[in-house]
Structure formats: C-alpha cells, structure tokens
Structure 1
Amino acid sequence: MSFPAPLRGVVPPVITPLTPAGEVDTASLRRLVGHLIGAGAHGLFLLGSSGEAAYLTDAQRRTVLETAVDAVAGRVPVLAGIIETTTPRVLDRAADAVRAGADALVATAPFYARTHPAETVAHFRRVRAAAGLPLFAYDIPAAVHTKLPREAVLGLAADGTLAGLKDSSGDEGSLRRLLVDPRRTTSGLSVLTGSELTVDAALLAGADGVVPGLGNVDPRGYVRLYTAARAGDWTAARAEQDRLAALFALTEAGDPARMGPNSSALGAFKTAAHLLGLIDCPATAAPQIPLDEQDVARVRAHLTQARLL
C-alpha cells in the first residue's frame, strides 16, 4: 500500500501469540490483527519489544511477518521491526521483511557494543539504502544502551534516510525539543511516542501518534484519545488518558520477588488478551517467567475495573 507521510495515529506494537510449546500461534495472531484493525488502529508494528522480537528465532520472525501481512491485506500499513545487534544482521532481517511484504521498517541503533553517533548514522543510512522501504528509528536506550542524538535524527530525516521516529527514550524534554524544531516539520518526520502514560501531552506538543503496548489490550481507548486530541477536545483526551493510566497498572501484576518487570508487563498484556478472547494462550517466550494464578487474578480485576470484561 502507499505509505502515508507522515504516518499518524495509533500504531499498536503487536504482541506475538505463542502456543504452550513456544511456537508462533498464527491463528491467534490473525484474530488479534483483525481485532486491532477493527478497533480503528491506523497501522501495526510487528516484532517490537511488545512483540518479543529479541526472544524469537529468525524463522519465527518470518512467520510473524508473513502471517500478519497476509491478515492485514493492505488495510493499514505494516511496520516490521528489524531489531538486531549489528548492521549485517539488521540487513538480513530487513531483507526478510521486504520479502514478507512489510510497508516500512523499524530499527534501533546497533547494540552489541556502544556506537559512536557517526556509526549510528552510517548504520541507518546503510539500512535505508539496502532495503528501499521507509525507515523508522526506534529510540529505546533502556534496551540498546544508546540514546539517539536529536541532531542525528534531524539530519537523517533531512536527507531522506528516516521517515519517522518511535520515541521510547523516556526523555520527555528531548522529545519536546525535537517536536518543536522547525527542521522536523520541514523534513516531514513522523514522531510517534512509545509512552502509554503521556500520550495526551505528547499529542498536545505536536507528536503524530502513539505506539502503545497497552493498545493490544484496549486499542479503542487509544483511538478515542487520539481522535479527541485531533479534534482539540483536550478535556476528553485527558479523561481517556487518565483511564488508560489506571489500566496500565496491570503491567505490575507480576510479583517482583520472583520476576522482572519485562516478564510482568508482557505477561500481563498476553494474559489480558487471553482473558478477552483475543489469543488462545498467554505464554511468553523463555526465559521470561509466566504469571501465576494470583497474578492473573490481578489482571482480571484491572480489566473488570476498566469495563473491558
């Protein structure tokens, strides 16, 4: 499909349903994709952090992309995560995404070793030149240990390397400075926030949209928030954001004494999707620790309080 420039709206980072044996559950993935599009999502981001890309084999990643692209059937843009440690490995994943029919690519800075900004810039340019699809930079220093410099992002947007940025840096000041920089407007860079809890503020500051992990659970809530913001109804946008912030507490359902925050958050997203009938199994990829019955009960309580169950 023709890729919109700039990309705007709600673009959920789709979770990857797995079977109890740890294989990709393609039937559940198709059902989830249909649900997200039916809820009004403006695009889908496959194989991001919420999609457990780092835990999947190359073959599983290909299965996810091929299944999702087929299920989407051109209704919304499909952004494919090509997150890998080094440029050659990213180029391999980019080739897979192109063959699968993705509409755009999403890449982080290389992250096996810390990279100099000049190396990061060269990395994105090589990926864009080789793949030929619109490229989004994924700024997530908590995972890759590199914060993308604002000047580098603006330069890559100006020369046509980057079509957009998914900002999951947690640096609200840096994001605000990027949004108000005239060079960002001139280049047409799409800026999507990855922070589920401050979407209204990001949209008010000029962000183009949001990539919310919680959007797997309540996509309609984020679409309502975005629609209200676009209409200038900031009271409604704030009310929806407050409701979603309360629901986001389900990511803390896991007991921190026995699991890390990633296991808790992804386990909660998948458990919620399972309770809502969107996927058949809430399994997360090894070595993440699954939620127990008490954790699941906490997720259920949050869904009930949010009137999703």
Structure 2
Amino acid sequence: MTRTSLRGVIAAIVTPATPGLDPDAPRFLRHARQLLAEGADGLNVLGTTGEATSFSLDQRRGLMEAAAAGLPRDRLMVGTGAAATRDAVELTRHAGDCGFAGALVLPPFYYKGVGTEGILRYFDAIAEGSAASGIPLYLYNFPALSGVPYTEDLVSALVARFGGRIAGLKDSSGDIGYARRIAALPGGLDVFPSSEAVLDQARAGGPFAGCISATVNVSARHAAAALHGGDDAALQRATAIRALFDGKPLVPWLKQAVAARMGDPGYGPVLPPFVPPDPAAVATLVTELEKIDKAPARP
C-alpha cells in the first residue's frame, strides 16, 4: 500500500466560531499555521474536537475550502463521516476535490447494532462517490460517541473490499491493545491512537504511525520533540498537559486554553450543546498549563 504523507504528530484542531456560530476561518488559519510552525506534522480538520457534527454541510465545506486554500494540503486530514450516507459521500468527495491528504470517516452513528454488511454498504457509497480523487480513507474508531465500533473483523473486511483506499485508523477508544492489533493486521494500516503518551511507541520501528490528539492544540512543540527528537522529558510534558484535561468536557476547556495561548478570547466560544466552563476554573487550568509549558528541560 502506498503511504500517505499523514504521519507523526497530528493535531485534532479546534474550530473557532463566530458570534453567529459559523466557522471563523481567519482565526482557524492563524491557529493552524501556529501549530505547524510549532512542529505538528499535520492537522485533523473538522473532527470531534473541531465540532464537525455541530456544523452544517455548507459550513463544513466552506471551512474545507478555506483550509485547502490557506494551508499545505498534504498535511491535512478532514473528518467526513455523517449519519446520513449521502452527506458522508458529498463531504468525502469535496475533501478529495479540495486536495486533502485523507478523509477521516466515522461509521454511520445513529442506528446501533448494525452488522458488517451495513457498514460495507456505507463505504461502497463513499468509495464510489470519491473515486475520481481516490482520497485515502481513514477509519475513525470512537465507540464511546458513535456507538458503532470498527471491530478487528470489520476492519479486515473493509481492507479486503477496498484495499489501499483504507489507509489507516484513528483510535479514540483508549484501548492500546486494540490499536496494536489493528496495526498488526494484514494491509499495514497506519494507526494513530488519540494520546501523545504513545509517541515513544511511534518512533522508528514502533507499531504506530503517530498520534491524532486534541491536546496537541496546546502541546505541539513538546509532542514533536518527543517523537522526532527522542526527548523523553518533552514526552512527559506533553502527557502532563493532556492530564490537565482529564475528567473535563474536552472541547470547551481546550478552546479556552487555545484562547489563552493565542491571546484572543475569540477562540473560546463553543457551539451548542456545549457550554462555556467556569472562568475561574479555566484560569487555574491555564496557570497549570503555563507551568508545564515553561518547565526547564531536564539535563
């Protein structure tokens, strides 16, 4: 299978929102360029952290176009999964037309208990609808939210049917054993757990292609140093930053942290059903984040 350019430290980037709840493309691009400058190898646009399913199809297509026009497309993966098959087809086709390096595809997530054949039919439509570009497809395993896991048997069936179009899998289950088993399947999929903690296992010869993590929004330079520089102290800082968000609604808190990092409260607003976190608690988290961020490197 031909490897794509999507490997290494990938930020599941937040989507700033305007007061009218549209994607704020100028702020998005500013933050995206900052992350790439800090060492992120790529960006996952309009994923869970990017509140993709809270935006309309037109809003998602518009942000895709802004990202493709303003950023290096070979470093961009975009979420295109949807409950409606036609929506997923249109989003994936548009991602291919925009020149993205990959489409990250949730399973159809409303109906539960669907079997392998139903998921294969969903991917039949996506693969056919995006055949002109041949955009690589990445499976997005997040059963806690989707309720529809990409089991090992299902992944094997998808690879058997679609071959090299299935390029990899992002695993947000938190089950490293599962991620290792997927990485060992025939087909050589690129597997990305959702935590910076695995970056020591993504170095040369490791089972993982990198990580796709929400907290790379605020840990990019440490995560990059951990992966590419073999810096274990940087790895500890990246994992400590991630731990600050444990037990918190990740998207609202992370957007506030990004707002503080960027010096711009315009990064903070969230779309319903999220609500803003308590400002005093956010201030405490930001102080802790700055302490970790500025900790001196160990000799």
Aligned equivalents of 1:249, 1:167: Cα separation in 2: 18
Q: 1:278 to 1:57 in 2, by over 3 A?
A: farther
Q: Is 1:174 aligned to residue 178 of structure 2?
A: yes
Is the contact made by 1:141 and 1:147 (CA closer than 8 Å) also made in structure 2? yes
The whole-number CA distance in structure 1 between the counterparts of 2:157 and 2:168 is 12
Q: Check if 1:297 corresponds to 2:296.
A: no
Report the equivalent of 1:216. 217
Which of residues 212, 220, 242 is equivalent to 2:236? Answer: 242
Question: What secondary structure sits across from 1:178 in the alignment?
Answer: helix
Matched residues, number = 286
- On the 8 A contact 2:90/2:129 being kept in 1, the answer is no
Q: Flag the 1:93–1:180 CA change in 2: closer, same or farther, 3 A.
A: closer
Residue 126 to residue 98, structure 1, CA distance change in 2 (3 Å): same
Q: 2:86 is matched with which residue?
A: 88
Residue 163 of structure 1 is matched in structure 2 by 167
Deviation at 1:34, TM superposition (A): 0.8
Q: Alpha carbons of 1:150 and 1:278: their partners in 2 closer, same or farther (altered >3 Å)?
A: farther
Q: Which moved more, 1:4-13 or 1:282-291?
A: 4-13
Q: Secondary structure at the match of 2:240?
A: helix
Deviation at residue 202 of structure 1 after TM alignment: 5.9
- Match of 2:94, SS state, is helix
Between stretches 22-31 and 88-97, larger displacement belongs to 88-97
- The 1:205–1:296 alpha-carbon spacing in structure 2 relative to 1, beyond 3 Å, is same
Quote the offset at 1:178 in angstroms. 2.3
Provide TM-score, normalisation by structure 1.
0.84
2:227 alignment partner, SS class: helix
CA distance in 1, matches of 2:89, 2:168: 19
Q: 2:143 aligns with which of 141, 144, 167?
A: 141
Distance in 2 of aligned mates of 1:9 and 1:278:
27
Alignment-derived partner of residue 269 in structure 2? 283
Task: Give the distance between the partners of 1:166 and 1:219, measured in 2 at CA.
Answer: 18
Unaligned runs of 5+ in 2: none
> Which structure 1 segments of 5+ residues have no match?
none
Deviation at 1:195, TM superposition (A): 2.6
State whether residues 29 and 67 of structure 1, in contact with CA within 8 Å, keep that contact through their aligned partners in structure 2.
no
Q: Percent identity among equivalent residues?
A: 28
Give, as a single letter, the amino acid of the residue that structure 1 aligns with 2:183.
L
Output the TM-score relative to the length of structure 2.
0.87
Residue in 1 aligned with 2:255?
Answer: 270
Deviations 1:19-50 (A, max 9, x none): 23322211111101111121222221111001
Deviation at 1:205, TM superposition (A): 4.6
